[in-house]
Amino acid sequence: MLTRKQHELLCFINDRLAETGVSPSFEEMKEALDLRSKSGVHRLISALEERSFIRRLPNRARALEVLRMPELAQSAPKSKASSPPPAPVVPTAANDILEIPLHGRIAAGVPIEALEGQTTLAVPSALLGPGEHYALEVAGDSMVEAGILDGDYALIRRTEQAREGEIVVALIEDSEATLKYFRREGAMIRLDPANRAYTAQRFAPDQIRVQGRLAGLLRRY
């Protein structure tokens, strides 16, 4: 099932493509759905893309393709006495978007606790598993070889435990937060980057506090 706004946007895009052959602009979509900002349009587009109703065509501006339309309940047969057709069935809202805390950029010198409660990020629930989650905006290129780029949103499941080889948010000496691979090396904790230009960091266990592990990644274009 699609939410009402997702259904409205899909129909608007499909109608515009049928009329002009060109998908509407984000400003036109915002106005058509009476949304307050284009960020709401981005969230709806991402949700429709995630559920394979539309796809973005690469290397082309304003290029959306409708892959399928939602199935609507079939109309009941008309009676002999002419009666107006039943109204289209609009799918009911589904809880497929979650708002999770967005704690800001994960950067040196900024403990995660200092970023609590700043704002929220709308995330497709399919990207999240069980547990409590928060998001961090990634700063830097130390994890590019793991596909984590500057400006991405790292979706983090809260936990104080980490297994070997997991990507975690580690708080170093209660002052510096970093996103790295977690590994044990003898009595030490080693935090490995995913970029050959950077070196691993080693710490005593009492210098590190695990704040969560990577559960997913969100990227906006």
Nearest to 214 by CA among 108, 106, 95: 106
Q: How far apart are CA 186 and CA 191, in angstroms?
A: 13
Neighbours of 98 (CB within 10 A): 15
Start-to-end CA span in the chain (Å): 25
CB-based contacts of 83, cutoff 8 Å, min separation 6: none
Q: Which amino acid is at 59?
A: N
CB-based contacts of 11, cutoff 8 Å, min separation 6: 69
Residue 99, phi-psi category: left (phi > 0), alpha (psi -120 to 50), beta (remainder): beta
Q: How far apart are CA 11 and CA 69, in angstroms?
A: 8
Token couple for 155: 């979706």
Say if residues 9 and 45 touch (Cβ distance below 8 Å): yes
Active site residues: 142, 180
Q: How far apart are CA 86 and CA 75, in angstroms?
A: 6
Nearest 5 degrees, angle CA 88-CA 89-CA 94?
145
